[in-house]
């Protein structure tokens, strides 16, 4: 490889690094903006389509950004649905204030949640009375709405 080719490769690599850095900064800015939208909507929340229509974001980008915000606990599914402008039901999401959205998401968060929920459901099996099943359903609804942690659910189910 001659010195001209080496120089070209170095320049191309530097340009690629600069482009990656700019793209990363743009994604972080969009992520912060989408987070602020969820927070500004309060308990009413927002669907992905509402954010797309009201703020001009690309739908697939919103979905990706929302998922990354959910991974760090900054956005939660409210348990509600609203019809989109096309008449299709869509999940409503709510922003959780006070979350550092730049933190790394917990490892295996979804697997941990799934395992804990399976354990809880098994505990409240068919042998349990109806009121125990109702308590589990209420606890899971609160958890999905962001109002409870898995530990809270466990304590609630252990209470008399």
CATH code at 3-95? 1.10.10.10
Q: How far apart are CA 106 and CA 93, in angstroms?
A: 20
What does pLDDT average to in each consecutive run of 10 residues of the chain (160 residues)?
59 55 57 92 94 90 89 87 93 89 68 59 60 70 67 61
Enumerate helices (H) and strands (E) in the chain, giving the number of each: 6, 2
SS3 state of residue 134: helix
Q: How far apart are CA 60 and CA 94, in angstroms?
A: 18
Listed in order, the ranges of the chain carrying CATH 1.10.10.10 are 3-95
What pLDDT shows up at residue 102? 85
- The residues with which 91 forms a beta bridge, in sequence order, are 81
What pLDDT shows up at residue 74? 86
The whole-model pTM stands at 0.54
**């990706």: which residue's tokens?**
64
């Amino acid at each position: 490889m001659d010195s001209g080719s080496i120089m070209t490769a170095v320049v191309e690599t530097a340009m690629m690094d600069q482009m990656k850095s700019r793209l990363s900064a743009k994604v972080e800015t969009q992520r912060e903006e989408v987070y602020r939208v969820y927070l500004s909507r309060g308990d009413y929340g927002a669907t992905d389509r509402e954010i797309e229509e009201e703020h001009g974001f690309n739908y697939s980008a919103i979905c990706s950004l929302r998922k990354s915000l959910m991974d760090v606990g900054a956005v939660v599914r409210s348990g509600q649905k609203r019809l989109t402008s096309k008449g299709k039901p869509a999940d409503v999401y709510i922003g959780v204030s006070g979350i550092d959205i730049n933190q790394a998401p917990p490892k295996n968060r979804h697997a941990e949640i799934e395992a804990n929920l399976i354990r809880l459901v098994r505990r409240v099996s068919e042998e349990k009375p109806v009121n125990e099943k109702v308590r589990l359903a209420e606890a899971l609804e609160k958890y999905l709405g962001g109002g409870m942690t898995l530990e809270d659910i466990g304590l609630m189910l252990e209470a008399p």
